[in-house]
Amino acid sequence: MTEVLVVHFSELNAIPAPHVPASQRDDNYYLETITFQVQNRLFKVPRYHFEHCSEIFATTFTLPSGEVHAEVCVDFQALLKVLYPLGMPQIVSTPKDKLLTKDEWVSVLKLSTLWYFIDARDLAIQQLNTHTVMGSAERIHLARQYDVPGWLRMGYTDLARRTEDISEEEAEKIKKRD
């Protein structure tokens, strides 16, 4: 069952900070926020990346109200970890492939593909390429589901070269279409 991600556009017309004479909002670092509801959890984040990095959200924000679909809260949290990383020491000292788990990178791939976050999608593909934990059948399944042609070729090549038979579970995963 698909949950609904509700975007509360009322945040766009929030009461401005008290006017201070001779103060000017910075063009780059005076960020507007947006509130998302995914399942029963609220997220309030800067709208900048949603507005500037996704064609879907750029046009959604021009509408008077709207809903965008997301499966589960953990998918949205994983995308936010990429768009808005928290903790500067963690970002600087942790290799990118250790910031998120393989499943979180799959969630980023899922939502970045759905919502056209091209840079986040490219990063997810790059990070998932480094995960040796991903088997051939899973790679084929994800390639079909999220349109990653290189993975499809790689997955089938790996299956053809290996000596062991394809398990029933792998066969089901390859057949499965979401």
**For the chain, what is the domain count?**
2
Q: Does the pTM exceed 0.85?
A: no
Structure tokens at 45: 């984040």
**Segment 100-121, tens digit of pLDDT:** 899 999 999 999 999 999 999 9
Considering the domain architecture, whether residues 82 and 166 belong to the same structural domain is answered as: no
Residue 93 lies in a domain: yes
Closest of 18, 58, 17, 55 to residue 34, by C-alpha: 58
Structure tokens at 119: 């840079």
Residue 158 lies in a domain: yes
Q: What is the 3-state secondary structure (H, E, C) of 152-167?
A: HHHHHHHHHHCCCCCC
Using the predicted structure, report yes or no on whether residue 79 has a pLDDT greater than 50: yes
Considering the domain architecture, whether residues 77 and 2 belong to the same structural domain is answered as: yes
Domain that includes residue 161, residue range = 134-178
Considering the domain architecture, whether residues 49 and 90 belong to the same structural domain is answered as: yes
Residue 49 lies in a domain: yes
